């Protein structure tokens, strides 16, 4: 009899938990639907308002055209040289700037005064003033981009391209070099010892290496006592205040490891190719002396490689402080189904807008530097590393219409495991630090503040094109024979 009561209590407890989970899921779905409906209504309201304004402007232009006739066109042509451009405030001639945006107030005034009374309303033509506010997540941003957009007579024009080649010029001589090496490689170990000795004796710079590398150097010779290293995480956090240049000896994986050491600002990285395949390692180790001399002297072209900042938000967290530490990735963050045989079920949001529900093997959120890595193998596009954006690439989606996306740099992407998912998901960051995402957990990704500057052999575009030609043999084929059929 007691065992029967225990079974009944267990069944009741199980039913109660099931009902609670279903209610929670229904509540979340209802909230999401309400938010989506509200957003749709707002967009509809804005559309109707804009449509009404456009119709009013068309009617006004038609009425002005009928009253002026051919005289209006002739007046504009003859008075081109007598137009005066002045701002609405009377102080600036072309561009005005507000606290949270850029304004253009312009008045085109005709100085001719010998027209009859019927054309008095045409004595002054005023273009509507406007303001462009740079917004992020719906809020005004304090970051102005005067070098990207400016205004001339009320027209928006790009002044500078964000993907312009970037040059680094030293204002003082570099004093400290940090060297990262690929482990378990005898050739890399020999080159590292030779490079450390040359930098110290010939270029008189301070040398930092990893604790593992310092132990290897001291095993080879006690003369390497001048080499510095770090002892704990606190010293790692202060490395960017001591190091001027970072040198990597290895492949792309060594560059990823070097970038992961810096949680904030990253010194310029000079990557030498000693791996099997490298898209970020343009320098050859055989000429390391000439390469380092040119880098130490400057100026050098650099590529600013954007990173993603990732947070895992646990559904079981009781408050906002119970969240995992942010993780920075240079290539990609991957969410997959792990060892489960079921499809991954992931809900994806871009800022506050619902994107899609991923059903397949998983999803890749990649930087443009990582576009030639896992994302490319999953069907994503190759993107120049200085193009700011986030690649949204599904892994073996169940829907054949699910094609990859490239999202702008300013958005925040949230990927959540729904409560009705059959299995948890797994997330990895640049191929390591694998973590489990249970039902209700979410991964939030946005563009990190601190990019990774890597030195170029020529410039960023030349290095990128050479890497895909040499690394992937991109579009390599035999040239068509010239002695075939021809157009008559």
CA distance 274 to 194: 15
* Joined tokens for residue 476: 């390599």
Look at the block and give the residue holding tokens 């807008």: 353
410 contacts 469 by C-beta, under 8 angstroms: no
Q: What is the tally of helices (H) and strands (E) in the chain?
A: 9, 29
- Please report which confidence band the pLDDT of residue 60 belongs to, taking 50, 70 and 90 as the band edges: confident
The CATH number of 308-450, from 2.30.29.30, 2.60.200.30, 3.40.50.720, 3.40.50.300, is 2.60.200.30
Residue-level pLDDT at 31: 66
Residue-level pLDDT at 397: 95
154 contacts 104 by C-beta, under 8 angstroms: yes
User: At residue 120, does pLDDT exceed 90?
Assistant: no
What is the domain partition of the chain in residue ranges? Answer: 83-160, 168-303, 308-450
Rank 117-126, 128-137, 412-421 by mean pLDDT and report only the highest.
Answer: 412-421
Residue-level pLDDT at 109: 38
User: At residue 394, does pLDDT exceed 70?
Assistant: yes
Q: Which CATH superfamily groups domain 168-303?
A: Probable inorganic polyphosphate/atp-NAD kinase; domain 1 (3.40.50.10330)
Burial class of 267 by CB neighbour count within 10 A (0 to 12, 13 to 18, 19+): buried
The residue-averaged pLDDT of 196-212 equals 94
Establish whether 441 is a catalytic residue.
Answer: no
- pLDDT of 277-336, one tens digit each? 789 999 999 999 999 999 999 889 999 999 999 999 998 877 665 677 899 999 999 999
363 contacts 346 by C-beta, under 8 angstroms: yes
The residue-averaged pLDDT of 347-353 equals 94
Residue-level pLDDT at 9: 55
Among the listed residues 11, 142, 244, 252, the single catalytic one is 252
| Predicted structure pTM score | 0.70
Query: Among 65-69, 171-175, 265-269, 380-384, which stretch is predicted with the lowest mean pLDDT?
Result: 65-69
Of 377, 179, 407, the residue nearest 285 (C-alpha) = 179
* Joined tokens for residue 481: 């024979």
User: At residue 135, does pLDDT exceed 90?
Assistant: no
């Amino acid at each position: 009899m007691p065992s029967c009561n225990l079974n009944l209590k267990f069944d009741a407890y199980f039913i109660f938990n099931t009902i609670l989970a279903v209610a929670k899921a229904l509540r979340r779905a209802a909230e999401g639907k309400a938010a989506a409906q509200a957003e749709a209504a707002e967009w509809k309201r804005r559309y109707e308002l804009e449509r009404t304004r456009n119709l009013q402007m068309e009617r006004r232009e038609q009425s002005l055209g009928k009253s002026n006739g051919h005289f209006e066109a002739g007046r504009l042509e003859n008075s081109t040289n007598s137009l005066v451009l002045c701002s609405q405030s009377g102080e600036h001639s072309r561009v005005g700037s507000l606290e949270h945006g850029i304004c253009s107030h312009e008045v085109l005034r005709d100085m001719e005064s010998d027209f009859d009374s019927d054309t008095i309303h045409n004595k002054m033509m005023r273009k509507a003033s406007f303001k462009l506010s740079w917004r992020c997540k719906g809020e005004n941003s304090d970051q102005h981009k005067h070098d990207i957009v400016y205004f001339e007579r009320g027209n928006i024009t790009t002044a500078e391209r964000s993907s312009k080649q970037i040059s680094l010029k030293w204002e003082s001589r570099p004093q400290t070099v940090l060297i990262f090496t690929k482990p378990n490689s005898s050739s890399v170990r020999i080159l590292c010892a030779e490079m450390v000795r040359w930098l110290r004796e010939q270029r008189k710079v301070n040398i930092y290496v990893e604790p593992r590398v310092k132990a290897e150097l001291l095993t080879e010779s006690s003369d390497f006592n001048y080499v510095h290293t770090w002892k704990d995480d606190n010293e790692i956090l202060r490395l960017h205040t001591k190091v001027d240049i970072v040198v990597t000896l290895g492949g792309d994986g060594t560059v990823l490891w070097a970038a992961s050491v810096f949680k904030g600002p990253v010194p310029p990285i000079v990557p030498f190719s000693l791996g099997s395949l490298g898209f970020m390692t343009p320098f050859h180790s055989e000429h390391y002396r000439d390469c380092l001399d040119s880098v130490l002297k400057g100026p050098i072209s650099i590529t600013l490689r954007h990173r993603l900042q990732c947070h895992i938000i646990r559904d079981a967290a009781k408050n906002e402080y119970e969240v995992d530490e942010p993780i920075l990735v240079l290539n990609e963050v991957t969410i997959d189904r792990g060892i489960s045989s079921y499809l991954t079920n992931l809900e994806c949001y871009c800022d506050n807008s619902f994107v899609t529900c991923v059903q397949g093997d998983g999803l890749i959120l990649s930087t443009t530097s990582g576009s030639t890595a896992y994302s490319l193998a999953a069907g994503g596009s190759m993107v120049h590393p200085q193009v700011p954006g986030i690649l949204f690439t599904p892994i073996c989606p169940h829907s054949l219409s699910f094609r990859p996306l490239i999202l702008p740099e300013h958005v925040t992407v949230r990927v959540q495991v729904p409560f009705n998912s059959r299995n948890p998901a797994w997330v990895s960051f640049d191929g390591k630090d694998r973590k489990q995402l249970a039902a209700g957990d979410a991964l939030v990704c946005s563009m990190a503040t601190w990019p990774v500057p890597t030195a170029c052999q020529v410039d960023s575009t030349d290095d990128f094109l050479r890497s895909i030609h040499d690394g992937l043999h991109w579009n390599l084929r035999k040239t068509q024979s010239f002695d075939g059929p021809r157009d008559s």
